[in-house]
Structure 1
Amino acid sequence: MPERSKTVHDVIVVGARCAGATVAMLLARRGYRVICVDQALFPKDAVSTHMLRQSGLARLRDWGLLDRLKATGCTPIHSITMSYADAHFSGFSDPIDGIAETYAPRRFVLDALLQDAAREAGVDLREGVTVTDLVRDGEFVTGIVGRDRDGEPVTEHARLVIGADGYASTVAQLTGAQKYDVIPGETFTAYSYWSGLTMQSQLRIGDKQAVGGWPTHDGKTLIWCVQYVDRFAPFRADVEGNFALAFKETAPDLAELLDTGEREERFYIARYPENFYRESHGPGWALVGDAGYHKDPFTGLGISDAFTYADLLAERVHEGLSAARPLDEALAEYQAQRDRSSKPMYRFTCDSSRLVLPDKHVEVMRALPGSATHTQQWFRMMAGGLSGREFFAEDNLASLLNPQGGR
């Protein structure tokens, strides 16, 4: 079979999940000719926290997709219970970007929703296409080379190739994109889905492990545990027993709750890769999503960040392709803006994922049940709507830690 035509498209996006389908959709809505390819055949699940924070939901609303998500029957989340050592409290953030709840959709539902929206915008979305190389004109990337689901060769050309193909990105490897600000991953997760439970979001941190869960689709609840990688091998020797033990040790009340429900699916186990940023632009190429910036899923910000920076990249690509400014300059600004805005939560996430909180954090958590205002602020910070610097400012915490003295 001959290769596909030599038509030069505006953009090729490699990867059709949260970041890839989104940036493809946004560019197609601006009138660009976009191909989006993925080696998977959908619907296909993905290892994920499932969590969509308010910032991500606000973008779905602005793109006209939030009502579609709500119509899928995903249970809204409006309460979080958290514990660490002897600190135990519940609450929720005040509205962020006008959104007063969160959702944790199954990925085969969310990804399909985004892919449908991309196709509706005019994206040529092709499943089962594996990229094996890039087309180059000198130092410039000008397309992709690969094979389709039948093993037939595929070659496509474009003014820009965007890698949205995950933390092990093929596009990143082929361009030689270097990592920086790397922080090793220290934990792994195991999770499954229970029926028969009625619970909102739970996050319980114990001795070098954490457990929790939140509702998702079809009346099911995602139940998970996280432990250090040195426990990975013994954990796998008895997944069900060690999973139950983690709950008994960390949150006995949740362990009792799980006994009232029924596990509906197998356990999913994944070691978390390192945290990093990557060089995310070069001659004729860019990276978005986990391909360009990956952090531990502990704070559940990955999907929302994928939306945020896909949106930002689409804006900068439009500036470059429309000749409003040089494309390389626009892409460089995209990376710089992404790094500046994401760095505080990157640091907070990496620190929190070690499951050993600073003494100051513990002191604050013990005091939170006495202040609804500060509890709300805490969860706003966890959702990325308030910086740690603002929350932990001495003036802000004075009335919490010294209620008799006031501010």
Structure 2
Amino acid sequence: METYDVVVVGARCGGAPAARLLAGQGLRVLLLDRGARGSDKLSTLYVHQPGVAFLRAWGVLDEVRATGAPPITELTYRVRDVVLRAPGPEVGGGNEAYAPRRGDLDAILGRAAEAAGVDVVHEASVTELVHERGRPAGLRYRKAGRWHEVRADLVVGADGLRSTVAGLVPAESYAVHPKLSCCVYGYWAGLDAGFEQHQGDGLWVGVIPTAGAHVVACYFRQSEFARVRVDVAGAHDRCLRAAAPSVAERLAGAERIGRLIGMGDQQNYFRTASGPGWALVGDAGHHKDSLTARGITDAFVQADLLARAVAEAGSLRPARLDARLAAYARERDRRMMPFYRSTLAVARLDVEAERLAELRRIAASPELRARYGAAVAGVLTPEEYRLHDAALAP
């Protein structure tokens, strides 16, 4: 039997920072992950400016830059006759976003956790929780054919959409919304493009620069997924020609790297974020359509909120810890819910006359373009943006 203060399940964008921040408080932390070290993951890759501010504060931004992911300081959004170019907002000492490959980013975050004193174990499958006095007191996991039992005062689930920890505690789902979009994406080398978004009727194209390539993602309504999955290459090409013909032309001179990947499991939900002796971080506790690419940044926010809650508890004694974990859950929902609602609105892929008129007005005003960029990055909540936008209206 191994004894720790905290065991975190999932060593990616939610779990690795949470483990590192908790270890920085002097706690003994074990970080488990079922994947191999440095393994890749389905992802939009994009880290918004507030997420980059965390990377800067955690001292790993130079490593992220060294992966070759270029700085992204402007967004181009095209829909019908509207072309809107919005600058990235200044957050924490810079205005750049980045889209590093997940194998690189997750490895960097894992190394930072190890450097902080976290014990990291990969290729470990969690099978059950250990309970004591009506609360989790650790877990059991299997690695290389051997069983291990870990005792800990706090169990953190950061193990993604299909979280084992969320199922074991169990966490209740709420604010669940039907799937809205599906996606086909791939990587291209030699594409001349910045960070671009193109919208058509029922279609959306996202172009994101990463290390040595661009991600080109085509989104469709979820009702199209059965048809899209039959011919992902044909669907990707049709989407580009209809919604982003300029991207289709430029791709003709680029080289696709690897295969196209279809993604239909665009779940939208919240799960209970905490309970006696446990908490959830990242996709384990909250997931929304990937079209707005908020997953990584939101995971960073939640890791920071959880670490602050544990620090405020000042002790891992149940009464103090559980009260602060409950406060963490409330704050997570307060932070995440506005962007959840706005993502659901965008992921319907509707092009409305009212929205087009609003975008034309934004495109014509440098101040509104800056506010729009701040809203996309998550510096402003949708409510804050709308209130300020209304005040500027003629």
Name the TM-score, length of structure 2 as normaliser: 0.96
Q: Deviations over 1:42-66 (max 9, x none)?
A: 2211111100011111111111111
Q: Deviations over 1:361-384 (max 9, x none)?
A: 321112223111111111211111
Amino acid aligned to 2:42: V
Other-structure match for 2:149: 155
**Aligned equivalents of 1:361, 1:397: Cα separation in 2:** 14
Q: Alpha-carbon deviation of 1:337? A: 0.7
Residue pairs, 1:123-272, within 5 angstroms: 123-148=118-143, 150-217=144-211, 219-272=212-265
Stretches of structure 2 lacking an aligned partner (at least 5 in a row):
none
**Aligned equivalents of 2:134, 2:314: Cα separation in 1:** 18
The answer to whether the aligner puts 1:40 opposite 2:47 as a matched pair is no
Q: Alpha-carbon deviation of 1:358? A: 5.0
Other-structure match for 2:337: 343
Amino acid aligned to 1:352: V
SS at match of 2:258: coil
Residue pairs, 1:15-26, within 5 angstroms: 15-26=10-21
Amino acid aligned to 2:375: M
SS at match of 1:326: helix
Q: Deviations over 1:185-216 (max 9, x none)?
A: 12111111101112111111111111121110
SS at match of 1:47: coil
Stretches of structure 1 lacking an aligned partner (at least 5 in a row):
1-5, 403-407
Give yes or no for contact 2:182–2:222 (8 Å, CA) kept in 1: yes
Q: Deviations over 1:203-244 (max 9, x none)?
A: 111111111211101x21111101112222222222212211
**Aligned equivalents of 2:310, 2:6: Cα separation in 1:** 9
Count residues in correspondence: 393
Percentage identity across paired residues of the two chains: 39
**Aligned equivalents of 1:366, 1:101: Cα separation in 2:** 25
Amino acid aligned to 1:308: V
Q: Deviations over 1:137-172 (max 9, x none)?
A: 131101111210x22112111111100001211101
The answer to whether the aligner puts 1:99 opposite 2:105 as a matched pair is no
Other-structure match for 2:346: 352
**Aligned equivalents of 1:392, 1:313: Cα separation in 2:** 29
Q: Alpha-carbon deviation of 1:319? A: 2.9
Q: Alpha-carbon deviation of 1:317? A: 1.8
Other-structure match for 1:66: 61
Give yes or no for contact 2:306–2:325 (8 Å, CA) kept in 1: yes
Q: Alpha-carbon deviation of 1:301? A: 1.4
Give yes or no for contact 1:29–1:121 (8 Å, CA) kept in 2: yes
The answer to whether the aligner puts 1:120 opposite 2:115 as a matched pair is yes
Amino acid aligned to 2:28: R
Give yes or no for contact 1:186–1:272 (8 Å, CA) kept in 2: no
Q: 1:231 to 1:320 in 2, by over 3 A?
A: same
SS at match of 1:265: strand
Q: Alpha-carbon deviation of 1:341? A: 1.6
Other-structure match for 1:3: none
One of 106, 110, 122 as aligned partner of 1:111:
106
The answer to whether the aligner puts 1:396 opposite 2:389 as a matched pair is yes
Other-structure match for 2:281: 288
Q: Deviations over 1:302-347 (max 9, x none)?
A: 1111011101101112333526970010000000011112211111
**Aligned equivalents of 2:208, 2:82: Cα separation in 1:** 20
Give yes or no for contact 2:14–2:281 (8 Å, CA) kept in 1: yes
SS at match of 1:267: strand
Name the TM-score, length of structure 1 as normaliser: 0.93
Q: Alpha-carbon deviation of 1:388? A: 2.3
Other-structure match for 1:308: 301
After TM superposition, where is structure 1 displaced by more than 3 Å over at least 4 residues in a row? 357-360, 395-399
Give yes or no for contact 1:189–1:272 (8 Å, CA) kept in 2: no
Amino acid aligned to 1:76: P
**Aligned equivalents of 1:56, 1:212: Cα separation in 2:** 19
One of 355, 358, 362 as aligned partner of 1:364:
358
**Aligned equivalents of 1:256, 1:239: Cα separation in 2:** 19
Q: 1:93 to 1:287 in 2, by over 3 A?
A: same
**Aligned equivalents of 2:389, 2:200: Cα separation in 1:** 27
Q: Deviations over 1:272-298 (max 9, x none)?
A: 332111111112111111111111122
**Aligned equivalents of 1:162, 1:357: Cα separation in 2:** 40
Q: Alpha-carbon deviation of 1:397? A: 4.3
Other-structure match for 1:405: none
SS at match of 2:38: coil
Give yes or no for contact 1:209–1:228 (8 Å, CA) kept in 2: yes
TM-align CA RMSD: 1.6
SS at match of 2:14: helix
Amino acid aligned to 2:193: M
Q: Alpha-carbon deviation of 1:359? A: 4.2
Amino acid aligned to 2:43: S
